[in-house]
Amino acid sequence: MSENAIKVLYRLHKSGFKAYLVGGGVRDILLGLQPKDFDVVTNATPEEIKGLFRNCRLIGRRFRLAHIVFGRDVIEVATLRGHHVDSGEKISKTNAEGRLLRDNVYGTIDEDAERRDFTVNALYYDISDFSIHSYGGGLQDLQSRTIRMIGDPNTRYREDPVRMLRAVRFATKLNMTIEKDTAAPISELAPLLKDIPAARMYEEILKLFFNGHALNNFNMMRDLGLFEPLFPLVNSQLVDEPNGPANKMMKSIMQSTDSRVKAEKTVTPAFFYAAILWYPLSQRADDIALEGGLSLYDAYYAAMGDVMEQQCSTISIPRRFSTPAKDIWQLQLRFDRNQGTRAFKFIEHPKFRAAYDLLLLRASAEGGAVAKSAAWWKSFVEGGEEQRSVIARSVNKGSRNRNSNQRRRRKPSAKKTSENTGEQAASPSTDKPAG
């Protein structure tokens, strides 16, 4: 257990409050996993918690939370939640679809457990006697590896549609199965995800696709209808062309991301979004070029803003990631033009490596001319200094030979027609009037 979590639990306990380690921290320890988060619940109010800890800050409007800060380590402390019966609008409020907008209703541990989403998360470690409190059959479901909703799934999903994504994430992360009744309403209620604030969805997507189970989450989300509300542009292409490059690209991206996470290599949302949105971008650029008669580069540049704006309407992408994603897109248009000696300068671009990785993914998905270009760049990137010079010169030499052949094949231009006599110019090859 986290030493800082233990400090928080004991200070609350010694101050006369009930304090429990709850949820994923308890669940993962029981499964033999290393927890990433240690959450604490208590019967102390947020203001009382803040009075006990100088390193505390209160956050949240929908549900008030206390963050106890120990350098980079943050222990989240929540007050035990209660039911909404006879609660005023100032502390509890839902919208027309049943989604909770405000939820500052406090209660007992029994009430709090009933408010948890899944039984495997309704596990409480009591610091006062070192016991574990299990609600709704949580320990049994943990042993049978079952994700089961506490309460009526339809109602609970409407309270917070993100629970549908959490069901998927826990099932793949913990190698569990979503119980039949818990899974049944998801496809019908999936469109409710469109009403979730885009900023919150950004965090949920990070948890889904950057935890080492991206491919499994992607497949399950598509099966349950959860992918389309979040990535409508991508999903449209996946449906329209089941065997097209977009489908191959998505699987390659997910596999690559999982491999990097498991190898403890860095993964960045900038590359992730640049890759999954590449084919929607290409489609939009083609449409703009056709409608407006723009050049390929100008059409792509205009399409970048459109595609990123539409994606951000469902999932907020911070500018620190959306701007590099656009840089990666722009560089795709330069690979063919920068072969030869220009390649030496091109590979020094700060975003070259990310753009090159996307080129390789495109080559795997598309083949053809893109694969040929990727093969050239692969030999250049992986070659030594002398090899690079030979590879670059071969391209320039081939280019000069083609230009020379074109000049030799070009016919001399006809003489200008005499402005005074109106006679036609003679053909250089026959000295006879042309035509």
Binning pLDDT at 50, 70 and 90, where does residue 424 land?
very low
Give me the mean pLDDT over the 107-119 stretch: 92
pLDDT digits 0-9 by tens, 119-146: 999 999 999 999 999 999 999 999 999 9
- Locate 8 and state its tokens: 């928080």
Within a domain: 312: yes
pLDDT digits 0-9 by tens, 273-329: 999 999 999 999 999 999 888 888 899 999 999 999 999 999 999 999 999 999 999
283 and 301 share one domain: yes
Q: What is the pLDDT, as a whole number, of residue 128?
A: 93
39 and 118 share one domain: yes
| Percentage above 90 pLDDT, the chain | 76
* Phi (first) and psi of residue 371, to 5 degrees: -65, -35
Of 103, 117, 141, 258, which one is the catalytic site residue?
Answer: 117
**Segment among 161-170, 223-232, 379-388 with least mean pLDDT:** 379-388
Radius of gyration of the chain (CA): 30
Within a domain: 175: no
Kindly tell me if the per-residue pLDDT of 432 is higher than 50. no
Within a domain: 64: yes
Of 39, 103, 112, 141, which one is the catalytic site residue?
Answer: 39
pLDDT digits 0-9 by tens, 214-254: 999 999 999 999 999 999 999 999 999 999 999 999 999 99
Within a domain: 194: no
* Phi (first) and psi of residue 232, to 5 degrees: -60, -40
**Helix-helix angle 245-262:232-240, to 10 degrees:** 120
pLDDT digits 0-9 by tens, 260-283: 999 999 999 999 999 999 999 999
Binning pLDDT at 50, 70 and 90, where does residue 209 land?
very high
Asked whether the beta carbons of 8 and 77 are under 8 A apart, the reply is: yes
pLDDT digits 0-9 by tens, 16-58: 999 999 999 999 999 999 998 899 999 999 999 999 999 999 9
1 and 117 share one domain: yes
Within a domain: 110: yes
Within a domain: 319: yes
Q: What is the pLDDT, as a whole number, of residue 394?
A: 81
325 and 347 share one domain: no
Annotate the chain with three-state secondary structure.
CCHHHHHHHHHHHHCCCCEEEECHHHHHHHCCCCCCCCEEEECCCHHHHHHHCCCEEEECCCCCEEEEEECCEEEEEEECECCCCCCCCCCEEECCCCCEEEECCECCHHHHHHHCCEHHHCEEEECCCCEEEECCCHHHHHHHCEECECCCHHHHHHHCCHHHHHHHHHHHHCCCEECHHHHCCHHHHHHHHHHCCHHHHHHHHHHHHCCCCHHHHHHHHHHHCCCCCCCHHHHHHHHHCCCCHHHHHHHHHHHHHHHHHHCCCCCCHHHHHHHHCHHHHHHHHHHHHHHHCCCHHHHHHHHHHHHHHHHHCCCCCCHHHHHHHHHHHHHHCCCCCCCCCHHHHHCCCCCHHHHHHHHHHHHHHHCHHHHHHHHHHHHHHHCCHHHHHHHHHHHHHHHHHHHHHHHHHCCCCCCCCCCCCCCCCECCCCCCECC
Binning pLDDT at 50, 70 and 90, where does residue 259 land?
very high
Q: What is the pLDDT, as a whole number, of residue 408?
A: 46
Q: What is the pLDDT, as a whole number, of residue 415?
A: 43
Kindly tell me if the per-residue pLDDT of 352 is higher than 90. yes
Of 37, 181, 195, 223, which one is the catalytic site residue?
Answer: 37
396 and 373 share one domain: yes
Catalytic site includes residue 126: no
Specify the number of domains making up the chain: 3
314 and 342 share one domain: no
Q: What is the pLDDT, as a whole number, of residue 89?
A: 45
376 and 276 share one domain: no
Mean pLDDT of the chain: 87
356 and 321 share one domain: no
- Locate 321 and state its tokens: 């990631």
Residue type, 105: V
Question: Residue 74 and residue 38: Cα distance in Å, rounded?
Answer: 9
Binning pLDDT at 50, 70 and 90, where does residue 419 land?
very low
Residue type, 302: A
* Phi (first) and psi of residue 253, to 5 degrees: -65, -45
CA nearest neighbour of 179 among 143, 145, 204: 145
Q: What is the pLDDT, as a whole number, of residue 178?
A: 98
Catalytic site includes residue 117: yes
307 and 381 share one domain: no
Asked whether the beta carbons of 122 and 30 are under 8 A apart, the reply is: no
Q: What is the pLDDT, as a whole number, of residue 417?
A: 40
Annotate 202-249 with three-state secondary structure.
HHHHHHHHCCCCHHHHHHHHHHHCCCCCCCHHHHHHHHHCCCCHHHHH
State whether the Cα torsion 234-235-240-242 is positive or negative: positive
Kindly tell me if the per-residue pLDDT of 398 is higher than 60. no
295 and 353 share one domain: no
284 and 362 share one domain: no
Give me the mean pLDDT over the 71-90 stretch: 76
Asked whether the beta carbons of 315 and 198 are under 8 A apart, the reply is: yes
Q: What is the pLDDT, as a whole number, of residue 73?
A: 93
Kindly tell me if the per-residue pLDDT of 63 is higher than 80. no
Q: What is the pLDDT, as a whole number, of residue 407?
A: 45
* CATH number of domain containing 283: 1.10.3090.10
Question: Residue 95 and residue 62: Cα distance in Å, rounded?
Answer: 12
Domain end, chosen from 333, 357, 388, is at 333
* CATH number of domain containing 124: 3.30.460.10
Q: What is the pLDDT, as a whole number, of residue 310?
A: 96
Domain range for 251: 229-333
Kindly tell me if the per-residue pLDDT of 64 is higher than 80. yes
Question: Residue 224 and residue 187: Cα distance in Å, rounded?
Answer: 5
Neighbouring residues of 110: CB distance < 8 A, sequence distance ≥ 6: 135
268 and 347 share one domain: no
pTM of the prediction?
0.82
Beta bridge partner(s), residue 102: 93
Within a domain: 173: no
Within a domain: 208: no
Question: Residue 372 and residue 366: Cα distance in Å, rounded?
Answer: 11
Domain end, chosen from 130, 145, 160, is at 145
- Locate 171 and state its tokens: 């099932």
Domain end, chosen from 100, 127, 145, is at 145
Residue type, 411: K
